Structure 1
Amino acid sequence: MRKFEFAYGHGKKAFEFDENDLIKIIRMKEFPPLKDIKSCVLEAIRHPIGSPALSEIIKPGDTVAFICNDPTRVANSHLFMPILIDEMNRLGVPDENMRIVFSLGTHREMSEEERVKQVGTEVARRIRMFSSVSTRSEDFMYFGETSRGTPVWINKLLCDVDHVILTGTIIHHYFSGFGGGRKAVLPGCAAMETIRKNHSWMLDPHSGLGILDGNPVYEDQIEGVELFAKGRSLFLFNAVVNAQHEFLKMFAGHYIEAHKEACRFVNEVYGCEIDREADLVIASCGGYPKDINVYQMQKTMENTSCAVRKGGVVILLAECIEGSGSAKLEETFRRLKTAEEIRRELEENFQIGANKAYAITHPIAKADYILVTQLDKEMAKMMHFYAATTEVEEAIKLAKQKLGDHPRTILMPEGSLTVPRLSES
């Protein structure tokens, strides 16, 4: 027996498992973390991909809006934002000419404490901070319609400045291919109807994990941002982090070209080949904020689904301290009892929150999911999970009752990041 410790909320869960039953432990590829953060940030923005350097773009007295991530995403904004703000000052942009807009998408409003924590006390003291709340229709400006029929409404706070700088980190995304890049604007700073229409394309079979080319969600997002970007200056600063939230590499420049270059690196870091699918997968979302609620946890479910065989079991460590994260998600599961019913209703009337219910049923159609969680057991049952418990040992016992005493097992301690792929040989 070997002891393991997996991230869970702000802490860890320890358990023992028989090494003889392990096929593989899937982790990110080892890359040395960046040491001198300041020099790496400045190197990225002074030698960008597909764009002139910021020093050639920014003029003294210009106005700048920074888009920053909300707490549901690991961004380390507090580490790079002071550097970017000081660089703006050096280029002649005073503090009063800058603002920060938090890209909430459809997520809940942030508290003032959360805003300060995201960007750091010094930046919060110096720079005005705002949130893009998708349901406040009066906060958005219309830019036309994409070829797929998405009305493009973007937050006005991005519309009256000389430059918009998109920040954040990049990981795989379960239906739009990859995070980062254009997502800071759409869905991050878009109106609810824009997000609803764009996300409806997740039902298309060409949308999916790690796919950009031919992905209708991604292509619609790009088209929408291009409508907004006409006559505007957009500049990207994205980073890739490891499971310990340390920076591995930074990318800056054109919001499409630099992002695609970063996605190639993401595949290299987070991708992992497996020889066979497992009977049992034991995975952690990676702790807070990846397991803050069911809404965020679901992204790890999609990754684990790549590693488990049809009819297998996944044990997922996800604290879900904020419960489901969506009243609409809960309401959908209460009212609609099968995956087929959920999909059928979405095809007729796509709703944010209900789409996450559909996304949860997708991996559950392949394998049984046992949660190690603080989520209410009745809610977990309503959401089609096989079982919910607070201890890993109990979850393993339940899995073995179905699979036998020696299931061939894959461990995924960094489940929200790592993406297994069956080898072609």
Structure 2
Amino acid sequence: MLKFDVLYAGEKTTIDIPESCDVQVVEPQPVDVDMDPAQIVDDALESPIDSPSFEEFIASHDSFLVIVNDYARRTPTPEILKVVLLYLEDVDFKIIVASGTHAKPTEKDLREQILGQFYEELKDRVILHDCKNDEMVDYGETSRGTPLKFNKTITEFDAIIAINSIEPHYFAGYTGGRKSILPGIAEYMTVERNHSMALDERANVLALKGNPLHEDMEEAVGKVVNDYPTFGINVVQDGEGRIVGAVAGDIFKQLYKGAELAEEIYAPSIENKVDLLLSVVYPPLDHDLYQGAKGFENTKDVVRDGGIMALMVACPGGIGNEEYTEMMQCADSVEGLVKRFEEMQEHYELGAHKIGSIPPFLANKELWMVTEMSEETVESINLKKAPSPQAAVDMAYEKLGPDMDVLIVRDSGNVVPQLSE
């Protein structure tokens, strides 16, 4: 037997695969960096892209709104704050958590992930964005018709500091940059209209130029930063979560620069499509299916017709928020799901893009879930549950035979395997 380790439900699990199978493994590519993470960040602050240095930026304004990510992203915010706070001594600032349409973070989220060791020092400066209930400021609409409303808190400060990280994103191209503001601190309807463009085939992972959703984000955020000077700070991490690169300055230009390194790390080549894909979603994206579905989207194109994807996503948070859960459970068959999706294309509802690619996949392939959700819950969304990572391999072996080609994608919520030409 061939033995392979994966991280499932927060624990290392060993999978045995018969030697008769051809097995490929892809994961975030290593980056040789011998610099301290704090130094990497500070160097970016001193030499930003198309912007004065961070020190000069701070000196030029009186008050700052610092935007940070929530629990749904693995951005190492405390590590970045360790450097940023050195520049903010005796400076007027508050921190807003860019939750987008996610549920508000808990005190535990703030203490353990978002603010880390700075929780006690910063907790009284924190604002939690609420996309449905907070007062918003109106910025009109984009040329594509997206109504623009953002958290009114921005009007209380002279300038913005946007802290984020850059990874592949299955319809925005990449995370980071402009996403701190849209969807980060946008109203629900703003996010919903922008995300409706995820149905466009040009809205794809690794795609920025020509991606209508990304370009709509840029146009929208451009209106905000035109009024409030914005200094972006974005990091790129390796598979272990270590900061291996940082870009700063212009919130738009830095994204393109950081995306180059992110692609080197997260877009490895594979030789061919496979019979069995083990798509393993790592924390924090394995919290629920709403986030964990990224593992499906990033890897679905490398499964052969007649093949199987085993999506390994623990989902301690279940399917997701109420709206997404209702959407996923809206039909008792794949055919019903297709019909419901067609209806949602005419009257888009946030999250609809997440079900649109499932029926075409199931037309000639199978999608299984390895998850902590109950079998009843998995069946309620028209999928099949495999009891464990090993069981998924054993079940596939029985169905596909001893010569099956297998691909293991570690951290599939971020890794996007590319077929070599």
- Per the TM superposition, whether the score is higher than 0.5 is yes
How far apart in 1 are the matches of 2:36 and 2:361?
Answer: 40
Distance 1:30 1:19, change over 3 A: farther
Name 1:358's counterpart in structure 2. 356
Give 1:26-425 correspondences, 5 Å limit.
26-33=26-33, 35-59=35-59, 62-89=62-89, 93-94=90-91, 97-117=92-112, 118-126=114-122, 128-136=125-133, 138-286=134-282, 288-336=283-331, 337=333, 338-361=336-359, 363-365=361-363, 367-385=365-383, 387-424=384-421
How far apart in 2 are the matches of 1:226 and 1:355?
Answer: 25
How far apart in 2 are the matches of 1:19 and 1:51?
Answer: 55
Provide TM-score, normalisation by structure 1. 0.93
Describe the SS at the equivalent of 2:356.
helix
How far apart in 2 are the matches of 1:419 and 1:269?
Answer: 10
**Mapped contact 1:27–1:418 kept (Cα < 8 A):** yes
How far apart in 2 are the matches of 1:256 and 1:381?
Answer: 42
How far apart in 1 are the matches of 2:244 and 2:364?
Answer: 33
Segments of structure 1 that go 5 or more residues without pairing to the other structure are: none
**Mapped contact 1:298–1:360 kept (Cα < 8 A):** no
Aligned residues: 416
Shift of 1:10: 2.1
Sequence identity of aligned pairs in percent?
27
How far apart in 2 are the matches of 1:366 and 1:72?
Answer: 32
Distance 1:34 1:372, change over 3 A: farther
Segments of structure 2 that go 5 or more residues without pairing to the other structure are: none
What is the one-letter code of the residue matched to 1:358?
G
Shift of 1:230: 1.6
How far apart in 1 are the matches of 2:174 and 2:20?
Answer: 35
Shift of 1:236: 0.9
How far apart in 2 are the matches of 1:296 and 1:359?
Answer: 15
How far apart in 2 are the matches of 1:247 and 1:366?
Answer: 40
Distance 1:301 1:366, change over 3 A: farther
Name 2:5's counterpart in structure 1. 5
What is the one-letter code of the residue matched to 2:101?
T
Distance 1:7 1:366, change over 3 A: farther
**Mapped contact 1:241–1:248 kept (Cα < 8 A):** yes
How far apart in 2 are the matches of 1:57 and 1:363?
Answer: 49
Describe the SS at the equivalent of 1:72.
coil
Q: After alignment, is 34-43 or 353-362 more displaced?
A: 353-362
Shift of 1:40: 1.6
- CA displacement 1:144-176 (0-9 Å, x = unmatched): 100011011111122321221111211111111
Shift of 1:126: 3.4
**Mapped contact 2:162–2:232 kept (Cα < 8 A):** yes
Shift of 1:333: 3.0
How far apart in 1 are the matches of 2:275 and 2:115?
Answer: 43
Q: What is the root-mean-square deviation in Å for CA atoms of aligned residues?
A: 1.8
What is the one-letter code of the residue matched to 2:306?
G
How far apart in 2 are the matches of 1:414 and 1:60?
Answer: 41
Distance 1:245 1:26, change over 3 A: same
How far apart in 2 are the matches of 1:362 and 1:254?
Answer: 39
Provide TM-score, normalisation by structure 2. 0.94
Distance 1:222 1:184, change over 3 A: same
What is the one-letter code of the residue matched to 2:339?
E
- CA displacement 1:339-381 (0-9 Å, x = unmatched): 4223212222111234433354454456312211101212212
How far apart in 2 are the matches of 1:278 and 1:295?
Answer: 25
- CA displacement 1:217-272 (0-9 Å, x = unmatched): 10111111011122311111111112211111111111111110011111111111
Describe the SS at the equivalent of 1:142.
strand
Distance 1:388 1:418, change over 3 A: same
**Mapped contact 1:66–1:166 kept (Cα < 8 A):** yes
**Mapped contact 1:326–1:353 kept (Cα < 8 A):** no
How far apart in 2 are the matches of 1:124 and 1:234?
Answer: 26
Q: After alignment, is 29-38 or 112-121 more displaced?
A: 29-38
**Mapped contact 2:41–2:235 kept (Cα < 8 A):** no
What is the one-letter code of the residue matched to 1:341?
K
What is the one-letter code of the residue matched to 2:199?
L
